[in-house]
Amino acid sequence: MKRVTIIVGTSSKKHTYSAVQQFMEYLQSFGDVECRIITLSDFRLDVCRGCKICFEKGEEDCPLKDDRDVLIEEMMSSDGVIFATPNYSFNVSALMKIFLDRLGFIFHRPCFFGKCFTSIVTQGVYGGDKIVNYLDFVGNGMGFNTVKGQCLTAFEPMTEKEKEKRNNILSIQSRKFYQKLINADYPVPTLLKLMGFRMGRTSMRLELDDTSYDYRHYKDNGWFESDYFYPTRLGLFKKAAGSLFDLIQTRTTGNRLRILHKK
């Protein structure tokens, strides 16, 4: 049995919620999947104060005492996660953004490897596709295997044809998500993901030291020496590309540090 958590960034039980329910219905028709819908407004989430203590000292030292860890635990204990949000002023809802900011440290120390992710965005007219791209990036940044999200235009009221079109999109998306869910794996990173890892870890290795939580996390996980976040077989081309990314970042950071230390 696979476990899926759907996190909804609105308290309204309209288009976003209905799309999520339809997605869940399709997903459960493919196989043994237990789904849980979580509405963010049912949880206490405080606004990030920007102290960066989570980066430097660890998330346990965050001064905010809210339900962040309950939500992270829900995601951690799931095989798949879906973020669903309406388009509000060409972005995710404020609720969803507050949630994402509370997870900011995970972009520094990704932890959802081997789990899959997708997003559902509903919109009135325009702007949802960019939000989908943003959420795809968020999913990848957290370490998930991401299935491209979908933007659904929520006509009011909806004709049968519009409903059929929406359901068709959700049916295709949920099938792709199910395939990833049952073949949960640790794929060879794309060139872009490899670049993100190699450049990020090289700059961290040169700029930080043992006093930083991020640095210790990378060191403890062997990420300063590994090919990627998790064991993987890079082909010759990606091996060479990985070394090149390390080299480019060593030079860039080296130049920056030389200028800083001259002052």
- Residues near ligand FMN (CB under 6 A) are 10, 12, 14-17, 86-90, 122-127, 154
Q: Which residue lies nearer to ligand FMN by CB, 13 or 49?
A: 13
Report the C-alpha gap between 196 and 66 in whole angstroms: 31
Q: Which residue lies nearer to ligand FMN by CB, 98 or 234?
A: 98
DSSP for 56-74? Answer: HT-GGG-S--SSHHHHHHH
- Residues paired with residue 191 on neighbouring β-strands, in sequence order: none
Q: Which residue lies nearer to ligand FMN by CB, 126 or 224?
A: 126
Minimum distance from CB of 157 to ligand FMN (Å)? 12
**Three-state DSSP state, 188:** coil
Minimum distance from CB of 129 to ligand FMN (Å)? 10
How is residue 147 annotated by DSSP?
Answer: P
Minimum distance from CB of 135 to ligand FMN (Å)? 14
Phi-psi region of 57 (alpha: psi -120 to 50; beta: other; left: phi over 0): alpha
Report the C-alpha gap between 218 and 226 in whole angstroms: 10
Q: Is the peptide bond before 157 cis (omega within 30 degrees of 0)?
A: yes
Minimum distance from CB of 96 to ligand FMN (Å)? 12
| CB contact at 8 A, 74 and 5 | yes
Q: Which residue lies nearer to ligand FMN by CB, 71 or 151?
A: 151
Q: Which residue lies nearer to ligand FMN by CB, 157 or 235?
A: 157
Q: Which residue lies nearer to ligand FMN by CB, 91 or 203?
A: 91
Q: What is the dihedral of CA 171, 173, 176, 182, to 10 degrees?
A: -80
